[in-house]
Amino acid sequence: MNYSQISYDQLKALVEEGIIAFDVPLNEHCSFKIGGPADVFASPKNQTQFIRLLSFCLENGVPYFILGKGSNLLISDKGFRGMAISTLYYQKLTRDENYISAFCGVSLSELCEFAQQQSLSGLEFASGIPGTVGGAVFMNAGAYGGEIKDVLYCSKYIEPNLDSLLSSNPVFHLKAEQHNFSYRHSVFQDRELIHLSSVFKLQLDDPQAIQKRMDDLNQQRWEKQPMELPSAGSVFRRPPGHFTGKLIDECGLRGFRLGDAAISEKHCGFIVNLGQASAGDVLKLIDHVKSTVMKRFGVSLETEIRFLGEL
């Protein structure tokens, strides 16, 4: 990016009271605590500012990445040569009868807490999943037998092209069936759509019973997953007919480490950062796991986490 042509004042004018900063370390903005700096870090405060930033990037050929909590992300040690657009301030929660509307920047924990307070059930499975609503819809996040597709009613999105962004009606709607949900997949991945918000259809229930289910699932999560260490969640997709963690464990890789990146002792489907792990450490460990599992079982593992920057 040519900073001689793009000034702070130019960018700040696009987001007004939002945030614009240069050379921001991204390890502070992801759950793995790994990653170099982004050339530009932007946090718009509303839809207008969001669209302004995207239009600016497209007009000027600036690479961009929409960043929530970075809970399913491995960022290059070299960082990201472009603009990281954070959804930090893009948060709003409302209720209408049995429906809850949530903006993309709302964390899943906040969404689930709000639902419980409103005596609405259906999101308990997601209460301990890190990340935001935007990321959860993008990936069709799921746990303990539940998935986002089970409760999603509709979504709003924008398309990353100038004609659409500069039109009088840049926001589009998706019905539930138009999301093309499958295992850790949605239409947002296929068409590179940018999620703005979603509505969830829930059921009335006793708030104490809802809280009890959330507490039980969170206890299971803390008992079985390395919640105490930085990670990006499950690294690999579940191969048909197998459990990833079991395959890795049976290869004798529990606790195996390269640098400060290690296979979790608690759950072999997780890679954890023991302190100073680099993206390079994690990538080498991923490759080692994939080749070992293939050699031992003939099973090809595919990564579930996303990658950002030059890896």
What's the pLDDT tens digit per position in 19-69? 999 999 999 999 999 999 999 999 999 999 999 999 999 999 999 999 999
Q: Which of 86, 118, 134 is the last residue of a domain?
A: 86
What's the pLDDT tens digit per position in 259-270? 999 999 999 999
Residue 302 designated active-site: no
Please indicate, yes or no, whether residues 114 and 144 belong to a single structural domain of this protein.
yes
Please indicate, yes or no, whether residues 36 and 54 belong to a single structural domain of this protein.
yes
Residues 212-229, mean pLDDT to the nearest whole number: 94
| pLDDT range class, residue 8, cuts 50, 70, 90 | confident
Mean pLDDT of the chain: 94
Distances (CA, A) of 192 to 131, 138, 161, 208, 210: 19, 10, 11, 39, 35
Considering the candidates 109, 155, 234, 264, report the single residue annotated as catalytic.
234
- Report the C-alpha dihedral over residues 131, 192, 178, 143, rounded to 10 degrees: -30
Considering the candidates 71, 184, 197, 264, report the single residue annotated as catalytic.
184
Looking at the DSSP bridge assignments, the partners of residue 173 are: 156
What's the pLDDT tens digit per position in 134-143? 999 999 999 8
Residue 234 designated active-site: yes
Considering the candidates 124, 147, 155, 304, report the single residue annotated as catalytic.
304
Q: Return the DSSP state at 239.
A: P
Please indicate, yes or no, whether residues 270 and 235 belong to a single structural domain of this protein.
yes
What's the pLDDT tens digit per position in 105-129? 999 999 999 999 999 999 999 998 9
Q: Which domain holds residue 128?
A: 93-222
pTM reported for the whole predicted model = 0.92
Please indicate, yes or no, whether residues 202 and 273 belong to a single structural domain of this protein.
no
| pLDDT range class, residue 4, cuts 50, 70, 90 | very low
2 domain-assigned? no
CA nearest 51: which of 102, 85, 92? 85
What's the pLDDT tens digit per position in 268-299? 999 999 999 999 999 999 999 999 999 999 99
What's the pLDDT tens digit per position in 168-210? 999 999 999 999 999 999 999 999 899 999 999 999 999 999 9
Please indicate, yes or no, whether residues 235 and 218 belong to a single structural domain of this protein.
no
- Name residue, tokens 């589009």: 172
Residue 184 designated active-site: yes
